[in-house]
Amino acid sequence: MSAHLSAAEGCRDDVTAFLRELVAIPSPSGEEEAVARRVVSQMKELDYADASIDAMGNVIGRVGDGATKIVLDAHMDTVGIGNAAAWPHDPFAGKLEDGVVFGRGASDNKGAVAAMVYAGRAMAERDLDGADVTVYVVGTVMEESSDGLALGYVLTESLEGIDGVVLGECTNLAVYRGHRGRMEMRATAKGLSAHASAPERGDNAISALAPLVAEIDDLHERLVADAFLGKGS
């Protein structure tokens, strides 16, 4: 392990410089092309076996050619900057101060993109420690607006037979081994307007949805806690 940590420490300056470049490229969800091209060019410069952009705009770099297939994923898009005046530094300057890179996406999630790109190079230099593994370093698009949609596309359309995925999401450097998942739904109730003097002629859409809201509240109490993942909400 110490050898691996030493190798990681040895490329700290390169990773930091690359991260600052990525931060300097605005990439709100749906506008990731420029940053994707920069990531691909870096992969090629680091002698990845293959590096390309898929039909959806995701970057896929490959290291190794083994039987077990692992994906390292981090998303390239960011949310907006909001009030620019509220930033202590230019959000696209990638300012380095006291060992910290400041800017939009520096943490979420371009820091992980930069780290994983160089991790791929480090693994290739060690010949994957002899493991029978293929590692795909993936930079996904539109995570901020569509969550895991792009990664799902990579796993089902761009690649096949993936055995495991490591996400580069922000966790304060803790290792998280699972996710409870989520569900989204859309409920529509159609009402009928009526004059206040004759409300019985109408149909109140808000009242129609009230039982659903109450049921969702009750569902929260009925959700079963998982021994490992804990209780959902």
Residue 219 tokens read as 């569902």
Residues 148-194 have pLDDT tens digits of 999 999 999 999 999 999 999 998 888 888 877 788 889 999 999 99
Predicted confidence at residue 156, as pLDDT, reads 97
Task: Write the class of the CATH domain 2-167.
Answer: alpha beta
Residues designated as active site: 77, 143
Q: Would you say residue 1 has pLDDT above 70?
A: no
109-114 mean pLDDT: 98
Instruction: Give residue 98's identity as a one-letter amino acid code.
Output: D
At 5, is the pLDDT very low, low, confident or very high (cuts 50, 70, 90)? Answer: confident
| The 68-75 sheet, strands edge to edge | 50-53, 59-63, 133-140, 68-75, 164-167
d(CA 52, CA 98): 35
Q: Would you say residue 213 has pLDDT above 70?
A: yes
Q: Would you say residue 18 has pLDDT above 70?
A: yes
Residues 77-102 have pLDDT tens digits of 999 999 999 999 999 999 999 999 99
Q: Would you say residue 231 has pLDDT above 90?
A: no
CA torsion sign, 69 to 40 to 174 to 147?
A: negative
CA torsion sign, 228 to 145 to 34 to 157?
A: positive
Nearest to 27, CA basis, from 72, 87, 92: 92
For the chain, give every residue range classified as CATH 3.40.630.10.
Answer: 2-167
59-84 mean pLDDT: 97
| Terminal Cα-to-Cα distance of the chain (whole angstroms) | 38
Q: Would you say residue 128 has pLDDT above 70?
A: yes
113-134 mean pLDDT: 95
What's the pTM value of the predicted model, to 2 decimals? 0.84
Collapsing DSSP states into helix, strand and coil, what is residue 143? helix
Mean pLDDT score of the chain, rounded to an integer?
94
Least confident of 53-62, 123-132, 182-191: 182-191
Residue 124 tokens read as 């290739």
Q: Would you say residue 223 has pLDDT above 80?
A: yes
Residues 188-209 have pLDDT tens digits of 999 999 999 998 999 999 999 9
Adjacent-strand bridge partners of 140: 75
Residue 100 neighbours by CB under 8 Å, 6+ apart: none
